[in-house]
A and B are shown apart, each in its own frame.
Chain A
């Protein structure tokens, strides 16, 4: 029996688990253990030194899931070095003596159904296409609902009156989502939890600090890799706006690119790869909407974002807004991050008072 596994990213293991276990009822889906310091240690040890950090994280989870018994690993690809992850990781895993195959479902950020069909046949030749489309639809809806709830949480968690109420409810929500079996159940779960979240009492002052977080996609979406940045911000009572989530990457990115290009045409002309051009447009948007500050995060050695950084500092100096750049690596000191974040928060508060 084939045993499939996939790398972790945030809470998206729930929809991924749903999709794979429903399309391939005859296979076993192995959930990798949660990302810990050991994961990144494993990944760093076996990766090229100057590769971007998400490579190290995903390789780490792959090794951990192989140790749990997986033999087929799912990986995606994007419009930067991300596009080579699957091939390189397969080679590294083979060199390490693991007998496994890595399947790259998305290349260059596009989804070609014929190609995916062929790839899925490799896992299970007898999989039903109709079922795959049906469950694919539910998965996409699940992603959408989860992202919507997350957006609501991000805007309000800093202002909760009873400490921990959002986090506790979110844990319950994740369990409920992982038990979903049909579309009707999914929609009901979503509505129930959205209602519950909206009923949590919050105290939002009018002069609250609002921050936009932009940057490289994996580091933004996997809280462990950004040292729980959003959690730390919420403790300072800050409203957070984040654009990147899986729903955006899968459905909005392709047609939003043109809008972004038109919107920020004075700053870039050609696509800069991955999310770099999107982030430039978002930086402009955040400045124009009068957000108090921007935090740009990326993994070290992320080339597209390195290209975007000077343009972003140019934008913020035009609009007189502060920006904080973070580069996360497997060897980043946590104290350093805390000091810079604290100073950033103090600065925003001082600006607000004047």
Chain B
């Protein structure tokens, strides 16, 4: 029996899961849409992984990361729950020990992680606003009638990318409508969108940060060749895009689960698990907190959201 470790990264758009062995090699992985229901998505994910996993492996640790990390961590009884910034850095460093900069653009957030000698030295994450992230591109794709997966190919065809005011997603859309109405080509507009994502990112998150190569670009948007092209153009550096780039967070958290192993055995079997969350508003004080109670097999395991510590 060989040991293996599961890492689950539950993002806003997609849920990623990997199983690694003792030497950090990926045994099997899966990538599915979250569709707004992390509990359901994780159940589906584990079923897929269970089928793919060879019989001679025993699960020795589970780690969760991503926006639903806490909830799923409770559900799977994970031995480690960590934020996505740390997980991404650890995962990437496993494959690229000399990396200096990680650019990451996901569905709703974008971050930059600066690394020196294998340690994170600085990071930044978008605050207040999600302009220039994956959701921005997919909402514009819908308006243009192009699949977001084909965005990159369109962008590469363009010779004169259009300038688009992309500070705010909604205003970018009005600018886009205007540009389309004036008669610009579709590929030029798409190329302009990709370029605006890059400029927005560098002006917002990358502000004041020294971006030194080697640079790796990750997250869902890294699949977009147009954005990669403009990153190369603006930064004047080579950009690495790993085919497993979308799994880095999950791999990172699996490695952390391995480092923090408890010695217990874990199981991928959760089909019979009843996992329910109930939300209500507490009216005991003017804070009116939204309390979330979490039940695992009808047993209250945790409640969140209280400001005064009553729950």
Contacts and interface: CB of A to CB of B under 8 A. Distances in A.
Interface of A: 33, 36-39, 300, 310, 313-314, 317, 320, 322-323, 326-327, 329, 335-336, 339-340, 342-344, 346-347, 350-351, 354
A336 B83 CA distance: 10
Interface of B is mostly: loop
A346 B121 contact: no
Contact of B125 (A33, A317, A322, A339): A339
Interface stretch (B13-21, B41-49, B270-278, B281-289): B281-289
Given A344-B123, A346-B85, 4 more contacts: A313-B208, A314-B208, A340-B85, A346-B83
- Closest A-B pairs by Cβ, 7 of them: A343-B85, A38-B286, A36-B286, A346-B86, A36-B287, A347-B120, A313-B208
Given A310-B208, A313-B208, A343 B123 contact: yes
Contacts of B86: 342-343, 346-347
Contact of A350 (B119, B285, B286, B307): B119
Nearest to A342: B83
Interface in B114-140: 117-123, 125, 127-128
A322 B125 CA distance: 14
17 contacts: A37-B287, A37-B289, A38-B287, A310-B208, A314-B208, A322-B122, A326-B127, A339-B85, A339-B125, A343-B85, A343-B123, A344-B123, A346-B120, A347-B85, A347-B121, A350-B119, A350-B120
B293 interface: no
Interface in B39-74: 67
Contact of A343 (B83, B121, B128): B83
B202 to A, nearest CB: 15
Given A329-B128, A340-B125, A351-B119, A33 B85 contact: no
Contact-residue size bin, chain B (C-beta under 8 Å from the other chain): 20 to 34
Nearest to B117: A354
Contacts of A342: 82-83, 86
Contacts of B117: 354
Interface string B203-227: 0000010100000000000000000
Contacts of B122: 322-323, 347
B270 to A, nearest CB: 24
A336 B127 contact: yes
B210 A317 contact: yes
A300 B286 CA distance: 24
Interface string B71-111: 00000000000111110000000000000000000000000
Contacts, number: 66
Contacts of A314: 208
Interface in B197-249: 208, 210
A37 B288 contact: yes
Given A343-B85, A350-B120, A351-B119, A327 B287 contact: no
Max chain A Cβ within 10 angstroms of own Cβ: one of B67, B84, B125, B286: B286
Contacts of A346: 82-83, 85-86, 120
Given A33-B286, A327-B127, A351-B119, A339 B84 contact: yes
Nearest to B120: A347
Contacts of A320: 121
A94 B18 CA distance: 61
B257 to A, nearest CB: 15
Max chain B Cβ within 10 angstroms of own Cβ: one of A310, A314, A329, A340: A340
Contacts of A38: 286-288
Nearest to B285: A36
Contacts of A354: 117-119
A346 B113 CA distance: 13
Contacts of B67: 335
Contacts of B85: 339-340, 343, 346-347
Contact of A351 (B121, B128, B208, B286): B121
Nearest to B118: A354
A341 B208 CA distance: 20
B311 to A, nearest CB: 15
A39 B285 CA distance: 12
Nearest to A326: B127
Contacts of B120: 346-347, 350-351
Contacts of B288: 37-38
Contacts of A37: 286-289, 307
A37 B285 CA distance: 10
B123 A327 contact: no
Nearest to A323: B122
Max chain A Cβ within 10 angstroms of own Cβ: one of B117, B125, B208: B208
A335 B292 CA distance: 14
Contacts of A322: 121-122
Nearest to B210: A317
Max chain B Cβ within 10 angstroms of own Cβ: one of A37, A322, A336, A343: A343
Contacts of B307: 36-37
A123 to B, nearest CB: 29
Nearest to A310: B208
Interface in B148-199: none
Contacts of B119: 347, 350-351, 354
Contacts of B127: 326-327, 336
